[in-house]
């Protein structure tokens, strides 16, 4: 019997290819204020549909990490890096993942995946660990209500919402000096 996780992942890739034929998915990143030289993490990067734009925005002096829990995602990201010559580092995330340095990211985005996170408090704590004090997290609701997103953020006691659009919320870490 084929691996159900792999089959679902392949279906997701196929769906994204159809969606992406109608627009440029990376354009959402233009709203995030990504600057040359930034360290950016695409958390839950999937097949890497935003990585090329992120790589362009940070330039040669910046760094992008494409992080995901699924090995097929990282396999696709590696192919994308090679074919597009991107300054992206693939990261396979695990339960006790420490491969992303503490307080290293200027900006983290997690798009179309928050609704799938089994433990939102643990997820938000992991991102809190890797983001700089003055950094931002851009979080898309995915297939859940904005109210559900707000509730999960509030329960974490680690983040403050600083902006909201129809598509995403922008968060800054609550850090004690």
Q: How many domains does the chain have?
A: 1
**What's the confidence (pLDDT) of residue 21?**
57
* Residue 75: CATH number of its domain: 3.40.50.150
**What's the confidence (pLDDT) of residue 16?**
54
| Within a domain: 10 | no
In the predicted model, is pLDDT for residue 151 greater than 60? yes
Mean pLDDT of 165-174: 96
**What's the confidence (pLDDT) of residue 25?**
66
Domain assignment of residue 106, given as a range: 36-173
Strands ordered across the beta sheet of 39-43 = 88-92, 63-68, 39-43, 105-110, 131-140, 168-173, 159-164
**What's the confidence (pLDDT) of residue 1?**
34
| Within a domain: 71 | yes
| Within a domain: 8 | no
* Rounded Cα distance, 48 and 21, in Å: 15
| Within a domain: 21 | no
Task: Output phi, psi for 167, to 5 deg.
Answer: -95, -35
| Within a domain: 25 | no
């Amino acid at each position: 019997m084929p691996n159900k996780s792999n089959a679902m992942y392949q279906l997701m890739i196929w769906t994204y290819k159809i969606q992406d034929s109608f627009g440029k998915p990376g354009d959402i990143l233009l709203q995030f204020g990504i600057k040359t030289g930034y360290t950016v993490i695409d958390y839950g990067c999937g097949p890497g549909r935003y990585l090329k734009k992120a790589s362009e925005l940070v330039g040669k002096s910046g760094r992008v990490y494409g992080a995901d829990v699924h090995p097929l995602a990282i396999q696709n990201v590696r192919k994308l890096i090679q074919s597009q010559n991107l300054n992206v580092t693939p990261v396979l995330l695990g339960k006790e993942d420490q491969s992303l340095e503490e307080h290293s990211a200027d900006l983290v985005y997690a798009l179309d995946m928050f609704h799938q996170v089994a433990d939102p408090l643990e997820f938000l704590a992991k991102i809190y660990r890797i983001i700089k004090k003055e950094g931002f997290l851009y979080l898309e609701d995915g297939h859940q209500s904005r109210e559900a997103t707000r509730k999960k953020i509030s329960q974490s006691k680690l983040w403050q919402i600083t902006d909201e659009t129809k598509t995403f919320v922008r968060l800054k870490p609550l850090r004690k000096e």
